Chain A
Amino acid sequence: MISRVADACFWLGRYLERAESTARVLQVTRNLSLDAALTPRQCWQPVVVVEGEEARFAARFGPEMEDGEVVQRYLTWDEENLSSIVRSIGAARENARSIREVVSLETWEVLNELHLWMGRGDAPARYGDDRDGFYRHVRRACQLAMGLLQGTMLHDDPYHFIVLGTMLERAGQTARLLDVHHHALTQLATHQVVETAVFLALLRACSGFEPFMKRGRGPATTLAVASFLVLDRDFPRSIRFSISGALGRLERVRPVSAIGSPGAESLERLRALDAWMSAQRPAALEAGSIHALLTRVVDESAAICDAIGRELLGQPTPTLEQHQAQ
């Protein structure tokens, strides 16, 4: 397929995942802040860090965090914040618009309606009156778009590139979420009850509460939750699942046998990361080593995204480059 089109597919997948993920994390954190014995800062600071917005946020709003309102507004509505929900939706829609002939009509309509909804009065009104309902609306629309992609598009190269983007974004998101919460908790040295509340919230932030319980691992200890979010081979948001899912798609668009065609480095790095993840055991997730592991996942996924961009997606045009936020 045309490299520019593949690029837009890849970024459509990433932005859609990011919009849904940000809405989910905000929704869950808001619930956590309502019932856990945590200060607003303890609740909301990790969210800002996960989004990679710590420095910019502090520069604009200062270190104080009276409640979660500023954080939520910044991560939902701020047009200058490339990771905000409104920007992610806009970017997902703009990528889809540039490849409308590729994205199924059904998916396009959902994305376009979501984008228009965000721009009209309805969305801010819902945000004001029914915050939870607002996040739910965003998440549902994104999930609907993803479901429609899966249910209405040919599962050939464009679809593989969308899922490839989704999976790499997701691996990075889960790794950052876990890393940040882990770090926050070790700083706190709090009571076991709080720790459990935080980790249950973390599971929910990954849509993983029920799947975790089904695994029957008992209480949500740090290690149990980390093992689940990193290593579970069947949970669709675990790092291992996401990496392996990304590899599956990359192997479809760039088969191992296609020696000499573009994509060799991307494929090799992703295969290496996947093999490394499969070899990990829960011991690697102990307090002393988990940060190193998660950092490697985040850095290596970013490097793989770069390699894919370089090898398979062509040079992005200047306009797109400005839009696409790593």
Chain B
Amino acid sequence: MAAPTTLFREYRPLPGVHDETVGPDGSLRPEFQRCMSALGACQPAEFARHQGFAELALLNQGVTFSVYSDQRGTEKIFPFCLVPRVISARDWARVERGLRQRVLALEAFLDDVYGEQRALREKPLLRELVLGGKAFLPKLRGVLPPGGVRIHVSGIDLVRDPSGTFRVLEDNLRTPSGVSYVLENRLLSKRVLPEVLDLARAHGIDAYPERLAATLRSVSPEDPDASSVVVLTPGPYNSAYFEHSFLARTMGLELVQAADLFVKDDRVYARTTRGPRRVHVVYRRTDEAFLDPEVFRPDSLLGVRGLMRAYAAGNVALANAPGNGVADDKAVYPFVPELIRFYLDEEPVLEQVPTFLCARPADCDHVLGHLAEMVVKVVDEAGGYGMLVGPQASAAEREEFGRRVAAEPRRYIAQPLVELSTCPTWDASTQRLVPRRVDLRPYVLNSRAGPWVLPGGLTRVALVKGSYVVNSSQGGGSKDTWIQKEQV
């Protein structure tokens, strides 16, 4: 065991928590020994300079997100920690296999929900939750998506428990975001830490835009090579606008807003300087509720009137397909292992987090009796909003939340607090590395040819000491994620 070098010298993992980089005895994990020793050899002052340079580069390049609470559209950089998170080839192989399996099962589930509903006939509670939930779109029953794909892009959030086991925390099958930060973070690593990156033998990730473009073309209702594919954004004031323009730019596709599109005779057209031009595939990054005022919110100015009719007629592919919300609903999540067995006749590769469904009276009683140990989430909220982290909440907060759960149990699920793994993270105020909690969002593309997993992902880090919440809206940052290649 090599003695930890300068940066890691005083670094101590938290007791009872898996640390991504350092073993329980404080030594660097052997798989990451080479690259992390090189990083550790940095003096704190030198590292601080690198970190500052990386932050300035992000600001100058406009790698920013807009803050919802600020109507003037203030742009902030997504805080970035230059210390990478490395995942070994062996760990990744399992994750990759599990993600492919999960996406295939969820595709099958969506086909079933909008088709025969076999699973729903066998599982009454699931049936009730799916058909009664607002994510289910009855009008789409019987509509087959062009190319047979519904989950073109998914971001499946994973956490790592104290034993080092990856567990699925939630599925994002609608418009998962963040992949642009994955790619931008890697560019920063290449500029600032080239030697360390080289020693880590990490998989490249820059093929993502090309793979995404190919995925989108593959589902066109017409000849893919003659198809027009566009990226649909709500516009520059959307918090993820940077990502939308980033993806359009790197894929060489046009970025459109709803007002740029119109539907005539169930076909979608773009308004161009040379008159209308047919559009075959829309990678839509607008929320489903704002897609088409004919079907969803009639008050929406953002939508394209008639888009859903064109979709139902098979004249345009929408990625991701509308209606996917039934499969990433937090209330459906506890059923996913069963669904994997049901549709694929396989055992799930990836573990989940044990989940109590408050819709089940027994579960609800248990949750209410153990609020201090639970993380309680609202089923139809995302982004870390509307949740209770029991162990960190005050007694009054727990009591108040408990009343809400008791009033509307269907809206809640609860999970025991997972001791999320930590990663050494730069703390600018003390100029040293400190353990901070992380999760991982890998990205899976699904085309006619089947799922492909990007060998990388977005590692989100809770920058606040003691925090378990990694969402950027709640003070989270990100790290570059390096997947090691197999030893040859």
Contact = CB atoms under 8 A, between A and B. Distances in A.
Contacts of B245: 99-101
A261 B275 contact: yes
A189 interface: no
B78 to A, nearest CB: 16
Interface string A247-268: 0000001100010011100000
Given A3-B260, A100-B245, A101-B245, A108 B272 contact: no
Interface in A92-128: 94, 97-102, 105, 108-109, 112-113, 116
Interface stretch (B251-259, B400-408, B437-445): B251-259
Interface string B264-279: 0000001111110000
B280 to A, nearest CB: 16
B272 A2 contact: yes
Given A261-B275, A314-B271, A109 B61 contact: yes
A317 interface: yes
A4 B246 CA distance: 18
Nearest to A98: B236
Contact of B273 (A99, A102, A109, A254): A254
Interface string B54-94: 00000111100000000000000000000000000000000
B248 interface: yes
B190 interface: no
B249 interface: yes
Given A100-B62, A157-B273, A261-B274, A5 B259 contact: no
A3 B253 CA distance: 15
A1 B62 contact: no
A149 interface: no
Nearest to A314: B271
A99 to B, nearest CB: 8
Interface string B217-259: 0000000000000010001100000100110110001111101
A26 to B, nearest CB: 26
A249 to B, nearest CB: 12
A285 to B, nearest CB: 36
A131 B61 CA distance: 27
B59 A97 contact: no
A312 interface: yes
A2 B260 contact: yes
A6 interface: yes
A182 to B, nearest CB: 37
B273 A312 contact: yes
Contacts of B242: 100
Of the candidates A101, A102, A261, the one having the most CB atoms from chain B within 10 angstroms of its own CB is: A101
Interface string A217-261: 000000000000000000000000000000000000110001001
B60 A2 contact: no
Given A100-B249, A101-B245, A109-B60, A3 B257 contact: no
A112 B62 contact: yes
- Report, nearest first, the 9 A-B pairs whose CB atoms are least far apart: A101-B248, A100-B245, A101-B249, A101-B255, A101-B245, A98-B236, A112-B62, A312-B273, A6-B273
Contacts of B259: 4, 317
A3 B271 contact: yes
Given A100-B249, A314-B271, 8 more contacts: A99-B245, A100-B62, A102-B255, A108-B62, A109-B61, A161-B273, A253-B273, A312-B273
Contacts of A312: 273
A149 to B, nearest CB: 15
Contacts of A1: 254, 272-273
A253 B249 CA distance: 21
Of the candidates B245, B246, B257, the one having the most CB atoms from chain A within 10 angstroms of its own CB is: B245
Contacts of B60: 109, 112-113, 116
A291 B253 CA distance: 47
A275 to B, nearest CB: 24
A6 B274 CA distance: 11
Interface in A6-41: 6
Contacts of B260: 2-5
Of the candidates A98, A102, A116, the one having the most CB atoms from chain B within 10 angstroms of its own CB is: A98
Which secondary structure dominates chain B's binding surface? mixed
A103 to B, nearest CB: 9
Interface residues of A, number: 31
A146 B273 CA distance: 23
Nearest to A93: B62
A108 B249 CA distance: 12
Interface string B303-343: 00000000000000000000000000000000000000000
19 contacts: A1-B272, A2-B270, A3-B260, A3-B271, A4-B256, A4-B257, A4-B259, A99-B245, A99-B255, A100-B62, A100-B245, A101-B248, A101-B249, A101-B254, A101-B255, A113-B60, A254-B273, A261-B275, A313-B273
Contacts of A97: 62, 236
Given A2-B254, A2-B260, A112 B272 contact: no
B253 to A, nearest CB: 8
Contacts of A100: 62, 242, 245-246, 249
Contacts of A116: 59-60
B273 A262 contact: yes
Contacts of A2: 254, 256, 260, 270-273
Nearest to A94: B236
A193 B248 CA distance: 58
Interface string A120-146: 000000000000000000000000000
A101 B243 CA distance: 10
A89 to B, nearest CB: 14
A3 B62 contact: no
B39 to A, nearest CB: 27
Contacts of A161: 273
B61 A3 contact: no
Interface string A72-104: 000000000000000000000010011111100
Nearest to B250: A101
A101 B260 CA distance: 15
A68 to B, nearest CB: 32
Of the candidates B236, B242, B272, B273, the one having the most CB atoms from chain A within 10 angstroms of its own CB is: B273
Nearest to B242: A100
A3 B261 CA distance: 11
A109 B271 CA distance: 29
Contact of B275 (A101, A105, A262, A317): A262
A112 B270 CA distance: 29
Contacts of B61: 105, 108-109, 112
Contacts of A105: 61, 249
Interface in A265-311: none
Contact of B274 (A99, A108, A109, A258): A258
Contacts of A102: 249, 255
A3 to B, nearest CB: 5
A326 to B, nearest CB: 21
Contacts of A262: 273-275
Contacts of A3: 260, 271-273
